A and B are shown apart, each in its own frame.
Chain A
């Protein structure tokens, strides 16, 4: 079945460091891919998405490129801020009525 695998956390970085959170997927067909962010005590918010191979989703300085050849959708940001501290979830939707979420990666950014 479809699945999403994320790197284990927590990831701890200093402010202005470069961020990569790895995400790989298994799916039949051509899924849409998403990154969601969850701040403490809140629900998940859609951060960015890509709907076909080679698409790049971007928002708030975060980027992720849909790589079909490596079945990956890694999240990157060039310079993180303390306010980026949150849990990040990779997810896919493969044309069925279900989204598949990864287990989440906690990011801590230190001032």
Chain B
């Protein structure tokens, strides 16, 4: 099925460990982004990409790295996990990223629930 695929669905890390959250889309979307969702805070943008080879920081980028080597994939790397990074992470993509006047909505993945102990 077309859409955004995130793996893993659940992960428990120890403080200081590193890991990569995977995100892939098969809709040829230019724009991809990572959000974290925390209770009472809605969704906060971590990093985004407007195309292969181009990434930029969002609202809460510290502690996370991204790269975009292909149109399809946009992995999120946690360099040294901290308890404050316990959250649900969502990857989302869209065709235009909101640049065009008739803005496109996002397609979201089903999320990765990360716990850092």
* A joins B in a complex: yes
Query: B99 contacts A97, CB within 8 Å?
Result: yes
Considering only residues 47-102 of chain B, those with a C-beta below 8 Å from chain A are 48, 50, 56, 58, 90, 92, 97-99, 101-102
The one of A41, A46, A97, A103 that contacts B106, using a Cβ cutoff of 8 Å: A46
Chain B residue contacts of A32, Cβ below 8 A = 98, 101-103
Q: B19-44 CB contact bits vs A (8 Å, 1 = yes)?
A: 00000000000010101000011110
Let me know if A42 is at the binding interface, CB within 8 A: yes
Which A residue's beta carbon lies closest to that of B111? A43
Knowing A43-B109, A44-B90, A98-B48, say if A93 contacts B103 (CB, 8 Å).
yes
Q: In this complex, which of A46, A98, A104 has the most chain B Cβ atoms within 10 angstroms of its Cβ?
A: A98
Chain B residue contacts of A74, Cβ below 8 A = none
We find that the number of chain B residues with CB closer than 8 angstroms to chain A is 28
Query: B105 contacts A43, CB within 8 Å?
Result: no
Query: A95 contacts B99, CB within 8 Å?
Result: yes
Let me know if B115 is at the binding interface, CB within 8 A: no
Knowing A42-B110, A43-B111, say if A97 contacts B42 (CB, 8 Å).
no
Q: Can you list 10 A-B contacts with CB-CB less than 8 angstroms, sorted by A residue number?
A: A32-B101, A46-B105, A46-B107, A49-B103, A51-B102, A95-B101, A97-B31, A97-B97, A99-B106, A103-B40
Chain A residues within 8 Å of B, Cβ to Cβ: 30-32, 34, 36, 41-46, 49, 51, 89, 93-99, 101-104
